């Protein structure tokens, strides 16, 4: 059976409004985003799933042509920035000191940047509007990518999910539904809908009232004691499962998702006759047309209002994967099947490839708005004396400014740009990571090129490395 996937996308940006299009691609890769905790590095790992088929992905993203050019009149340099949000630009809902000035400075000097976050739970337009208000800087969806933005791609192609029934979950069921409806998915249900249709599916008191707002299901739930294939079209069939952001009720969500992964072809209330019957690691598990499971990020921890990091969506994913392995363990208690799922967002290479294309397109649009002319330069391309890149020169370096070694830093370090663009990782101390909780020295893929106090210091370090100088509107020198 054909599967939709976002694994291994290739990106091709073209002016097509503000939408995206896709033809998905699956691989059988298995990668690990090792967790770290308060104290020694946590042994818990969030593992990227193995998937079963290979299909090509083609991304397109449109960009507005009414690009605003900074007052400096300088052409965009051949370097750019990618900023995480939580712990880098914002702490809870307040700007981290210097964040607003940094973004204004970059806009003034036409230095491209993108906000690249594993956060989610709001539509892109709402999130950008909210960020613009909080940071005091006019932002655009054209250089903003959050964790579940790529799910829009599954609306297109021969295996489009546009008219299929999809289950969504996250911090707020109704908001998750609204996001997917606005994306273009037409049949969207939540665990609350299922619970309302048959409360016996979850025989416990609801954890909270707000997540349990519900709407009627498009079809009834299957309730026969055995599998009656002839009657199946009359019952609810779920074609895909999406986790948009950090779920609030793990118990209900895990119960419903597990039921679907054990079902025959996504008919909730059935049990696949193939479960546990095959050979090899999967032994028939998730081999009977069950819905594909998608996670929008694998962050185990994130920086919130509490003084210590909090569990994120990656923790929910790890809990579900651990439970699945236990459920699928044989009678001898050994083994167990790997949970097959798709994870996107940082640290996966596809996210960085997409961000690189967004930055490149943004830079070209600024050059186009400036008439393609070569403007006076205030610096050099590098600190080694090389000349600044002329107009039209491709993007050479991107500085990834993040607070999480597992996602921001590991992703930038591990990304091999097909365009030859160098990604340079910079870790700040204002978020989830700190020396006292890192479990020792950062090594390997978790080791950044630089560790600095905050986003201002990060941008200063990058500008110095580039040999770039300039002053803002008020005469302030960020360097």
Closest CA to 362 of 150, 138, 104, 61: 61
| Most confident by average pLDDT, 258-272, 394-408, 459-473 | 258-272
Q: Say yes or no: domain 153-295+298-343 is CATH 2.60.40.1840.
A: no
The pLDDT of residue 476 is: 52
Neighbour tally for 9: CB within 10 Å: 24
Confidence of residue 196 (pLDDT cuts 50, 70, 90): very high
DSSP state of 452: E
Peptide bond into 125 cis (omega under 30): no
Average pLDDT, the chain: 80
Give the global pTM: 0.75
More confident position, 433 or 62 = 433
The pLDDT of residue 435 is: 80
- Whether pLDDT at 218 is above 90: yes
20-46 pLDDT tens trace: 333 333 333 333 333 333 332 232 333
Parse the chain into domains and list their residue ranges.
Answer: 63-147+347-466, 153-295+298-343
**Interstrand relation of 292-295 and 342-343 (parallel, antiparallel or unpaired):** parallel
63-147+347-466 folds as Rossmann fold (3.40.50)
pLDDT, mean of residues 53-64? 36
Closest CA to 477 of 81, 72, 68, 67: 72
370-405 pLDDT tens trace: 776 434 334 443 333 333 333 346 789 999 999 999
> At 426, is the secondary structure helix, strand, or coil?
strand
The pLDDT of residue 392 is: 46
Dihedral sign of CA atoms 311, 430, 83, 123 in order: positive
Q: Do domains 63-147+347-466 and 153-295+298-343 have the same CATH topology?
A: yes
The pLDDT of residue 473 is: 45
The pLDDT of residue 27 is: 32
| Most confident by average pLDDT, 60-74, 97-111, 334-348 | 97-111
The pLDDT of residue 240 is: 99
The pLDDT of residue 150 is: 82
pLDDT, mean of residues 111-137? 94
pLDDT, mean of residues 335-354? 89
Go through 110-149 and write b for each residue having 16 or more CB atoms within 10 A of its CB, e for each that does not. Answer: bbbbbbbbbbbbbbbeebbeebeebbebebbbbbbbbbbb
The pLDDT of residue 60 is: 41
């Amino acid at each position: 059976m054909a599967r939709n996937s976002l694994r291994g996308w290739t990106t091709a940006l073209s002016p097509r409004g503000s939408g995206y299009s896709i033809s998905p691609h699956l691989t059988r890769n298995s990668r690990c985003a090792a967790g770290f905790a308060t104290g020694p590095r946590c042994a818990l790992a969030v593992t990227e799933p193995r998937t079963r088929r290979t299909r090509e992905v083609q991304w397109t993203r449109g960009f507005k042509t009414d690009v605003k050019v900074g007052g400096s009149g300088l052409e965009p340099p051949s370097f750019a920035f990618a900023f995480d949000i939580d712990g880098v630009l914002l702490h809870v809902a307040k700007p981290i000191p210097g964040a607003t000035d940094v973004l204004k400075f970059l806009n003034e000097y036409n230095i491209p940047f993108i906000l690249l976050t594993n956060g989610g739970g709001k539509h892109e337009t709402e999130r950008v509007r909210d960020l613009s208000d909080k940071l005091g800087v006019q932002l655009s969806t054209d250089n903003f990518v959050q964790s579940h933005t790529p799910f829009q791609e599954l609306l297109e192609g021969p295996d489009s999910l546009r008219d299929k029934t999809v289950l969504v979950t996250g911090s707020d069921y109704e908001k998750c539904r609204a996001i997917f409806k606005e994306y273009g998915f037409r049949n969207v249900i939540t665990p609350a809908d299922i619970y309302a249709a048959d409360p016996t599916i979850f025989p416990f008191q609801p954890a909270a009232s707000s997540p349990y707002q519900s709407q009627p299901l498009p079809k009834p739930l299957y309730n026969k004691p055995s599998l009656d294939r002839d009657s199946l079209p009359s019952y609810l069939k779920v074609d895909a499962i999406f986790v948009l952001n950090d779920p609030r009720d793990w118990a209900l969500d895990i119960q419903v998702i597990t039921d679907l992964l054990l079902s025959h072809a996504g008919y909730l209330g059935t049990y696949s006759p193939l479960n546990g019957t095959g050979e090899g690691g999967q032994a028939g598990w998730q081999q009977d047309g069950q819905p594909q499971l998608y996670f929008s990020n694998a962050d185990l921890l994130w920086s919130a209002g509490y003084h210590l990091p909090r569990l994120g969506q990656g923790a929910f994913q790890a809990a579900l994967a651990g439970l699945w392995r236990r459920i699928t363990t044989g009678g001898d208690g050994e083994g167990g099947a790997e949970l097959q799922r798709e994870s996107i967002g940082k640290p996966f290479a596809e996210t960085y490839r997409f961000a690189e294309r967004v930055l490149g397109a943004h830079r070209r649009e600024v050059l186009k708005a400036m008439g393609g002319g070569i403007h006076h330069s205030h610096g050099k391309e590098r600190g080694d004396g090389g000349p600044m890149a002329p107009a039209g020169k491709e993007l050479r370096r991107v500085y990834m400014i993040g607070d999480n070694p597992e996602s921001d830093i590991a992703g930038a370090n591990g990304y091999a740009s097909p365009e030859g663009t160098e990604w340079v990782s910079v870790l700040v101390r204002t978020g989830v990571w700190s020396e006292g909780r890192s479990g020792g020295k950062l090594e390997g893929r978790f080791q950044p090129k630089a560790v600095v106090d905050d986003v201002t210091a990060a941008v200063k370090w990058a500008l110095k490395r580039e040999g770039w100088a300039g002053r803002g509107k008020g005469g302030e020198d960020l360097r």
